[in-house]
Structure 1
Amino acid sequence: MRDNVMVAPPASADLDWRWRDLITLGKPRVVIVMLVCVAVGMALATPSLPPIGLVLNGLVGIGLAASGAAAFNHVLDRRLDTMMLRTARRPVASRRLPTSYALGWASLLSIVGIGWLAWQVNTLTAWLTLASLLGYALVYTAFLKHATPQNIVIGGVAGAAPPLLGWTAITGQLGPEPLLLMLIIFAWTPPHFWALAIHKHDEYAKAGVPMLPVTHGDAFTRLQVWLYGWLTVAVTLLPFVIGMSGLIYLIGVMLLNVRFMVWNFRVWRGQDSQAPLAAFWFSIRYILGVFAVLLIDHYATLLSA
């Protein structure tokens, strides 16, 4: 007879799992979307192709700092994450990864990212990235998220920074154009996130998080999604109004806005229980589309000049 012997998994398998957890802490899919917006800010900052060295160094530094902020979010939200189905399996919440490991990893990513920007890009971008990191990890996650139903609106300033950071990485200075790019994301954030909050109403209520649907009800939040959707539409037209973009952008963004508002209308009506989640996922494609047509318009203008 064969002995029924338990064989321990190789140490390398455990190490591989831990590295995957560390990568997960940085929310790579969210950071990739953010870096796309950074790259667009970089491209729009110059009438020609931006210097490849600044582009690469800027993306590396901002990406590392953003991953660090996301990791801090895992640490600070670990108790809340255990109460919500979509986050309960996160590495820190599920205790697969010790909190001390996650905190050390978050600190390392943040310090290296900010330091890299100061060394290889410019100090303005480093300081702005640090302010964005602190705004997201401390002001929003540690305080606003648990203090007010307007957490998404106020905390949206930090989340709207990526195109501004991309612009300053290339130019080393601020201006009205990058602030407008930031304003677009700021206006888009409430309808984007409140749609998800409607879908996750019960989970937020159970966790005691004062998201707008919990404090003011789903009907009121649906109305806010509709109204903030129109605000987003108005803001996305401003690049054409101020001469920052041309007809290609105007046509493209109008088509995107029509689809965006169709989803927001479905959310507002409240007759489709799946509309909020579908609107949330479309809004991600929407904001990427807005910046994509900005980029297409920018380079089409250069080629025709």
Structure 2
Amino acid sequence: MTVPHVLRHWRDYLELCKPGVVALMVFTAVVGMLLVDPQYIHWQPMLLACIGIALSAGSAAAINHLVDRQVDAQMARTRARPLPTGNIRTVEAVAFAIILGVAGLAVLFFWVNPLTALLTFLSLIGYAFIYTLYLKRATPQNIVIGGAAGAAPPVLGWTAMEGAINEYSLLLFLIIFVWTPPHFWALAIHRREEYAKVDIPMLPVTHGDRFTRLQILLYTVLLFLVTLLPYLTGMSGLIYLAGAMLFGALYIYYAIQLKVSDDPALPMQAFRFSITYLMGIFAALLLDRYLPLAYNALVG
């Protein structure tokens, strides 16, 4: 992997990092940072934490590409990825993943704090190896168990600022953990035949379409209840509660439609909305925290 090669294929290397996924993870990490007591928020470690988390997440994504390269070549959704097309060789992807991972963890360890580096390392191992190498092919509950790694960013962000794990950060973890199965199962319904073709035991493949739609509805109702916890525990106020109830009602509507209708467009509509939902919930947390502060500053 040379610099000229990276420059020529920068779009392919960017694709290896799954930029959309990384952006969502950094966003939820930033929310975790900004919900910390203001006395702990400092912009330099915050920026460095974002860089370290993004690099580490990009490394995990690149490893995911490496492990799934043969499967990706057989699926319509993924056959145009850099490794199946040959735009990036396996050895180059390995080097790229190692460089990103080492750089990200080094930034976190030396310029943020060792605890954040350790937790980030564990989430990297959880996603890139435990989920991708084992769980994904071992059980239809793969995304339920493996979702723990993807739910870590708010905890990482909070820990980056405070230097300790806070119980409120674990509520944010819980929200993403419960959100992950209905989010991904909607995509799995849409891509059921492709997963079956490559023998990946996603829930729609092993238990059927109807059962998966029921599970999506049940998890969405559970998610609605879980998103009330920040208000019930005193972490947030009425602004967040209003946002959580609005977005939760919309998500339940999509889940009910998915359960009662066979419209082939609904699974992807529900999948896309689930991303909007998560961003909306976390944005509501920020608005709840900072709108009153802004108001008090203006009138004070």
TM-score, structure 1 as length reference: 0.94
Q: CA deviation at 1:15?
A: 5.6
Q: Does 1:132 align with 2:115?
A: no
Letter of the 2:49 counterpart: G
Q: Tell whether the 8 Å contact from 1:157 to 1:186 is kept in structure 2 after alignment.
A: yes
Q: Does 1:97 align with 2:88?
A: yes
Q: Tell whether the 8 Å contact from 1:197 to 1:211 is kept in structure 2 after alignment.
A: yes
- Hey, what does 1:289 align to over in structure 2? 280
Q: Tell whether the 8 Å contact from 2:6 to 2:13 is kept in structure 1 after alignment.
A: no
Q: Residue by residue, what CA displacement relative to the aligned partner does 1:277-305 show, whole Å, maximum 9, x if unpaired?
A: 10000000100000000000011233456
User: Cα 1:13–1:138, aligned 2, differ >3 Å: closer, same or farther?
Assistant: closer
% of aligned pairs identical?
A: 50
Q: List runs of 5+ in structure 1 lacking aligned partners.
A: 1-11
Letter of the 1:280 counterpart: F
- Hey, what does 1:201 align to over in structure 2? 192
- Hey, what does 1:177 align to over in structure 2? 168
Letter of the 1:30 counterpart: V
User: For 1:245 and 1:293, how far apart are their aligned partners in 2?
Assistant: 9
User: For 1:43 and 1:125, how far apart are their aligned partners in 2?
Assistant: 16
User: For 2:63 and 2:269, how far apart are their aligned partners in 1?
Assistant: 28
Q: Tell whether the 8 Å contact from 1:222 to 1:270 is kept in structure 2 after alignment.
A: no
- Partner SS state of residue 197, structure 1: helix
User: For 1:37 and 1:226, how far apart are their aligned partners in 2?
Assistant: 24
Q: Does 1:213 align with 2:204?
A: yes
The match for 2:228 among 233, 237, 241 is 237
User: Cα 1:268–1:51, aligned 2, differ >3 Å: closer, same or farther?
Assistant: same
User: Cα 1:14–1:132, aligned 2, differ >3 Å: closer, same or farther?
Assistant: closer
- Hey, what does 1:112 align to over in structure 2? 103
The match for 2:20 among 9, 29, 33 is 29
Letter of the 1:292 counterpart: A
Q: Tell whether the 8 Å contact from 1:68 to 1:109 is kept in structure 2 after alignment.
A: yes
Structure of higher CA gyration radius? 1
Q: CA deviation at 1:270?
A: 3.4
Q: Tell whether the 8 Å contact from 2:30 to 2:154 is kept in structure 1 after alignment.
A: yes
Letter of the 2:264 counterpart: S
Deviates most, 47-56 or 175-184: 47-56
User: For 1:82 and 1:208, how far apart are their aligned partners in 2?
Assistant: 14
Q: Residue by residue, what CA displacement relative to the aligned partner does 1:46-79 show, whole Å, maximum 9, x if unpaired?
A: 2368210011000000000000000000001101
- Partner SS state of residue 108, structure 2: helix
Q: Residue by residue, what CA displacement relative to the aligned partner does 1:175-230 show, whole Å, maximum 9, x if unpaired?
A: 21001100000000000000000000000001110000000000000000000001
User: For 1:159 and 1:72, how far apart are their aligned partners in 2?
Assistant: 15
Q: CA deviation at 1:94?
A: 1.8
- Hey, what does 2:263 align to over in structure 1? 272
Letter of the 1:91 counterpart: P
Q: Residue by residue, what CA displacement relative to the aligned partner does 1:140-172 show, whole Å, maximum 9, x if unpaired?
A: 000000000000000000010011100000000
User: For 1:196 and 1:102, how far apart are their aligned partners in 2?
Assistant: 26
- Hey, what does 1:7 align to over in structure 2? none
Letter of the 1:65 counterpart: S
Q: CA deviation at 1:95?
A: 1.7
Q: CA deviation at 1:269?
A: 1.3
Q: Does 1:186 align with 2:160?
A: no
User: For 2:4 and 2:151, how far apart are their aligned partners in 1?
Assistant: 38
Give the aligned length: 294
The match for 2:36 among 45, 48, 53 is 45
Letter of the 2:130 counterpart: V
TM-score, structure 2 as length reference: 0.95
- Partner SS state of residue 85, structure 2: coil
- Hey, what does 2:136 align to over in structure 1? 145
Deviates most, 132-141 or 253-262: 253-262
The match for 1:299 among 287, 290, 299 is 290
RMSD of equivalent CA atoms: 1.5
